[in-house]
């Protein structure tokens, strides 16, 4: 079930009303059932995978609790990780790895015949697999107590607002919230509903409108002038941000209705001042997962510059692969890693030359660095969006002015998209540096309610007719 559908618009209030009426155990059972219905709405069979993942990690957790020695706990942890990554590997990467091995075999002269298995990727598998893995890892590190209540644990794995595209929650944060009775408060209701409306605006008005130009440009870049191709690339960066952040808004808002607070996943990443700053603002729950469970155990920043850079490259390439089983995602990860290594090298050099003096903030420098980071990530977006490497190559050729249609853009719509993107950047800038949110909060509440009503009308009349799935569902 998608968030941007009428079905969800009916489903959520129904679940909420039932939630209000039930005691704690009833709520847990009802939310679990609601989560499975939500997940299995389109393809019921993949509910089985969710169940397997739940049972596997629940059992591992109980066994680990009985283990005394570190070695025994490590064996259980390994079993859990192998099971989770096995599921992920088989359904998500099976075809990719088998196809590449077969190709390699043919290159080496072996007769390797291979047919794709053709599984449809179970929605959200990367998200809930990482979430359940975080449970066993936290348990192994003795950061949490094992969950002995299967109902709570099953709900932790499948809680529907964040099931299919995050935020990837830690057991230490979400599980305790699911185990207590929440008195639904007016404040939660109001802020949850507001968050949902903002999420719908970002998804249906901004992301889906951007998708129109993006789809056209990436389908036939040669048909457009260079400027339009660039706008298409920048628009994709906008699209993926609004799409994913819109999803996160709706997820957080929906959970808030039940009194549950999910982790924030975005912190205005379009305004990142550096590459490192970007990774602290973008898809925060994934990057913190990778940092805590991959980068830091590998040595983190502690093993010298060269090894740190190598760890960064490995983590970001794997991050690319997490997004999709294709070489262009690997390249995207490698490109991001290069940017990050380049940034840290430059920062190190600057510190050597200028010392640790804090640089003074000034507006032109700020705007310049934001624009530079934005442009660097927009280039990365080509790898991210292109369905394969040949399209990425064509896009880069057209962006460089080769093979693209000549002349200035003649469609007014290009200018509208440019203006829309810049407007949103200005809004986020005001939120970040001029306290726009606080100013809005200080407005009379009647005016804010009127504004919310208007925003809903704006969504109604400016959203596309598409019920487009979220981009991050495919991961």
Partner 1 sequence: MGFKSSSISRYCERLLKRQWTKGPLVPILTGMRKRFLVGAGIVLTVQLAFEIFARFALPEVPSCAEVSRNAYRFRAWPEYIAGLDGTENTATVVLLTNSQGYAGEFDHRRIYPAQLEELMCASRLGGHRHWEVLNWACDGMTSIELTLLAAYLETRSPDIVLAMTGYADYAAEHSGEKLLYCRSDVPRLATRPALLKRLPASYLRRHVGVEDFLTFLLRDRFALLRYREFVWSWLDPRFPGIHTAFYAPSINYRPWELRGRRILNPLRKSKLTPGDPVLTYREGSRQMLDDYLSLLARIRSRVIVIAQPIAVPPGDPRMAWQEAFMRDLRDLTSQKGLKLWDLSGALPSRDFMTSSHFLPANHERFAAMLHTRLSREFGDAL
Among 45, 108, 364, 445, binds partner 1 (CB under 8 A): 445
Counting contacts by CB under 8 A, is residue 30 touching partner 1?
no
Query: In 162-293, which residue ranges form alpha helices assigned H by DSSP?
Result: 171-178, 186-200, 208-219, 226-257, 275-281, 284-290
Among 43, 390, 467, 474, binds partner 1 (CB under 8 A): 467
Number of shown-chain residues binding partner 1 (CB under 8 A): 39
Among 128, 463, 472, 475, binds partner 1 (CB under 8 A): 463
Nearest CA-CA partner of 340 in 282, 424, 425: 282
Counting contacts by CB under 8 A, is residue 23 touching partner 1?
yes
Among 63, 67, 189, 298, binds partner 1 (CB under 8 A): 189
Counting contacts by CB under 8 A, is residue 423 touching partner 1?
no
Min separation Cβ 129 and partner 1, Å? 28
Counting contacts by CB under 8 A, is residue 449 touching partner 1?
yes
Among 97, 101, 119, 181, binds partner 1 (CB under 8 A): 181
Nearer to partner 1, 193 or 391 (CB): 193
Contact indicator for 233, 458 with CB cutoff of 8 Å: no
Nearer to partner 1, 408 or 461 (CB): 461
Burial class (CB in 10 A: 0-12, 13-18, 19+), 45: exposed
Region from 71-79, 111-119, 378-386, 446-454 binding partner 1, contact rule CB under 8 A: 446-454
The overall longest dimension of the chain from CA atoms, in Å, is 75
Query: Among this protein's residues, is 323 annotated catalytic?
Result: yes
Nearer to partner 1, 216 or 267 (CB): 216
Sign of CA dihedral 6, 10, 16, 22: negative
Min separation Cβ 443 and partner 1, Å? 12
Counting contacts by CB under 8 A, is residue 460 touching partner 1?
yes
What angle (nearest 5°) sits at the alpha carbon of residue 81, between those of residues 79 and 82?
65
Among 33, 81, 212, 298, binds partner 1 (CB under 8 A): 212
Nearest CA-CA partner of 233 in 106, 345, 391: 391
Counting contacts by CB under 8 A, is residue 444 touching partner 1?
no
Counting contacts by CB under 8 A, is residue 157 touching partner 1?
no
The torsion angles phi and psi of 123, rounded to 5 degrees, stand at: -60, 135
Contact indicator for 85, 129 with CB cutoff of 8 Å: yes
What distance in Å separates the CA atoms of residue 350 and residue 364, rounded to the nearest whole number?
A: 19
Residue 409 has a CB neighbour count (10 Å cut-off) of 18
Among 310, 413, 420, 436, binds partner 1 (CB under 8 A): 413
Contact indicator for 249, 198 with CB cutoff of 8 Å: yes
| 432 contacts: CB under 8 Å, gap ≥ 6 | 268, 271
Task: Return the residue matching tokens 């999910």.
Answer: 262
Among 375, 419, 443, 454, binds partner 1 (CB under 8 A): 454
Min separation Cβ 427 and partner 1, Å? 21
For helices 125-140 and 47-66, the axis angle rounded to 10 degrees is 0
Report the site for partner 1 in 128-147 (rule: CB under 8 A).
none
Nearer to partner 1, 35 or 308 (CB): 35
Min separation Cβ 264 and partner 1, Å? 24
What distance in Å separates the CA atoms of residue 237 and residue 229, rounded to the nearest whole number?
A: 13
Q: What is the DSSP letter of 145?
A: P
Min separation Cβ 348 and partner 1, Å? 46
Counting contacts by CB under 8 A, is residue 419 touching partner 1?
no
Site track 363-402 with partner 1 (rule: CB under 8 A), x = hit: ----------------------------------------
Q: What is the Rg, in whole angstroms, of the alpha carbon atoms belonging to the chain?
A: 23
| Residues identified as active-site | 323
Report the interface residues with partner 1, using CB under 8 A. Answer: 5-7, 10, 20-23, 181, 183-186, 189-190, 212-213, 216, 411-413, 445-446, 448-450, 452-454, 456-457, 460-467
């Amino acid at each position: 079930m998608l968030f941007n559908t009428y079905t969800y618009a009916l489903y959520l209030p129904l679940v909420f009303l039932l939630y209000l009426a039930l005691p704690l155990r009833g709520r847990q059972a009802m939310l679990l059932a609601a989560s499975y219905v939500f997940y299995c709405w389109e393809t019921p069979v993949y509910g089985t995978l969710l169940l397997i993942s739940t049972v596997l990690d629940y059992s591992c957790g109980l066994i680990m609790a009985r283990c005394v020695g570190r070695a025994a706990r490590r064996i259980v942890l390994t079993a859990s990780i192998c099971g989770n990554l096995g599921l992920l590997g088989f359904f998500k990467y099976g075809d990719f790895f088998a196809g590449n091995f077969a190709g390699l075999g043919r290159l080496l002269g072996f007769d390797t015949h291979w047919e794709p298995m053709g599984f449809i990727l179970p929605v959200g598998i990367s998200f809930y697999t990482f979430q359940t893995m975080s449970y066993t890892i936290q348990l192994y590190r003795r950061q949490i107590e094992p969950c002995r209540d299967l109902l709570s644990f099953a709900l932790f794995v499948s809680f529907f607002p964040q099931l299919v595209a995050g935020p990837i929650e830690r057991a230490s944060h979400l599980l305790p919230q699911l185990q207590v009775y929440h008195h639904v408060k007016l404040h939660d209701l109001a802020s949850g509903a507001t968050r949902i409306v903002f999420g719908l605006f970002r998804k249906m008005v901004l992301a889906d409108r951007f998708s129109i130009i993006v789809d056209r440009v990436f389908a036939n870049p040669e048909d457009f002038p260079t400027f339009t191709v660039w706008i298409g690339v920048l628009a994709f960066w906008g699209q993926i941000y609004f799409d994913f952040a819109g999803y996160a808004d709706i997820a957080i808002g929906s959970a808030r209705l039940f009194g549950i607070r999910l982790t924030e996943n975005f912190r205005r990443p379009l305004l990142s001042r550096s590459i490192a700053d970007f990774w602290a603002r973008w898809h925060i729950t994934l990057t913190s997962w990778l940092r805590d469970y991959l980068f830091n155990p590998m040595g983190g920043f502690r093993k010298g510059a060269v090894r740190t850079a190598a760890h960064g490259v490995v983590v970001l390439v794997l991050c690319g692969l997490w997004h999709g089983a294709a070489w262009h995602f690997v390249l995207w990860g490698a490109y991001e890693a290069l940017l990050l290594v380049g940034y840290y090298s430059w920062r190190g050099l600057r510190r050597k030359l200028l010392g640790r003096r804090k640089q003074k903030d000034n507006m032109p420098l700020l705007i310049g660095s934001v624009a530079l980071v934005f442009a660097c990530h927009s280039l990365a977006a080509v790898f991210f969006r292109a369905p394969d490497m040949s399209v990425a190559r064509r896009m880069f050729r057209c962006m460089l002015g080769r093979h693209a249609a000549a002349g200035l853009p003649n469609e007014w719509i290009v200018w509208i998209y440019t203006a829309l993107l810049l407007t949103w950047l200005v809004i986020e800038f005001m939120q970040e540096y001029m306290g726009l949110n606080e100013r809005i909060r200080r407005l009379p509440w009647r005016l804010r309610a009127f504004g919310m009503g208007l925003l809903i009308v704006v969504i109604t009349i400016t959203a596309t007719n598409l019920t487009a799935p979220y981009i991050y569902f495919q991961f």
